[in-house]
Amino acid sequence: MTYKIPILLYHDIESVDCPNEKSNLASKETVVDVSNFESQIRYLSENNYETISINEYFRYIKNEQKSLEGKIIISFDDGHYSNYKLAFPILVKYGLKATFFITTNWLNQQYHLTSDQIKEMIGNGMEIGSHGLTHNFFPDMNSHEIKFELSESKKILESITKQPIHYIAFPGGHYNRTVLRMLEMSDYRGACSCLQGLNSKKTNPWLLKRIEIRKSVSADQFKHIFNPLSIAFYQMVDSLKSLTRRTIGLNTYSNIRSRLYKYYIFKR
């Protein structure tokens, strides 16, 4: 069976001495405790997983000779301060790297990354991508607004990193046909969604799938998240979610999203 590559998705990491901005319990579900995060990273390291960037992933996809076997991508959305303060030193300690998708309007704000922290992370092998300008959901915008979000966030990140920014993760994981069409016409090369699953040469480069790691994932569950049965389960959850989204509309859906997760994901 062809090896398919997992892209893990984290948001905020927390510890007692690194508080975060999440005040309500529902959004706390996305905040992973630092000791859990470290044991997950240690597991990947001890089991010889090699982390690659999204950029390297696309190079592997193009090159038939190279195998993706044993490779994994770690990604973070939003640009939280904890990504630098807590996650970054752990990644360095275990010799792993990650891709950080940054919402540029939040840069240098309380609880978020600064430009200097991003530069330091890049200097240590981390990859930076865009997570939009405002974190407003693209399907709620007109095409001019989407275009501005795509190009402006890219421009800001390129001026900080002095590197081309080729990849984006959709805020809230939300996209529609207009967004995908505009990305195809842009300088971007790929996009991460919140669709659950693994990636292969056949995966749409504008809809890379990810596996979201939430607070409630135990060490034992983490070890099993890459097996095909779990993936089939995630895909079923996605179908349920998109059906719900179509039925009740995006706004209402976003409000109850955390509840859906609570019941469907990792609570088998």
CB closer to Zn ion, 12 vs 38: 12
What mask, x for binding Zn ion by CB under 5 A, covers residues 195 to 234? ----------------------------------------
8 Å CB contact between 180 and 162? no
Segment interacting with Zn ion, rule: CB under 5 A, options 54-62, 69-77, 106-114, 140-148: 69-77
CB within 8 Å of 150: residues ≥ 6 apart: 130, 168, 182, 183, 186, 188
Across the chain, the runs of DSSP E, i.e. the strands, are 7-10, 12-14, 31-33, 50-51, 71-78, 99-102, 127-130, 167-169, 190-196, 208-212
Contact call for residue 77 and Zn ion (CB under 5 A): yes
Contact call for residue 78 and Zn ion (CB under 5 A): yes
Contact call for residue 12 and Zn ion (CB under 5 A): no
The whole-angstrom separation of Cα 193 and Cα 88 is 23
Burial (CB count <10 Å: 0-12, 13-18, 19+), residue 62: exposed
Measured from the CB of residue 171, what is the shortest distance to Zn ion in angstroms? 5
The whole-angstrom separation of Cα 160 and Cα 198 is 31
Measured from the CB of residue 238, what is the shortest distance to Zn ion in angstroms? 17
What mask, x for binding Zn ion by CB under 5 A, covers residues 85 to 114? ------------------------------
Measured from the CB of residue 104, what is the shortest distance to Zn ion in angstroms? 12
Contact call for residue 149 and Zn ion (CB under 5 A): no
* Amino acid at residue number 53: S
8 Å CB contact between 76 and 56? no
Residue nearest to Zn ion (CB): 77
Measured from the CB of residue 169, what is the shortest distance to Zn ion in angstroms? 7
Measured from the CB of residue 158, what is the shortest distance to Zn ion in angstroms? 20
Maximum Cα interatomic distance, the chain, rounded to a whole number of Å: 48
Task: Report the interface residues with Zn ion, using CB under 5 A.
Answer: 77-78
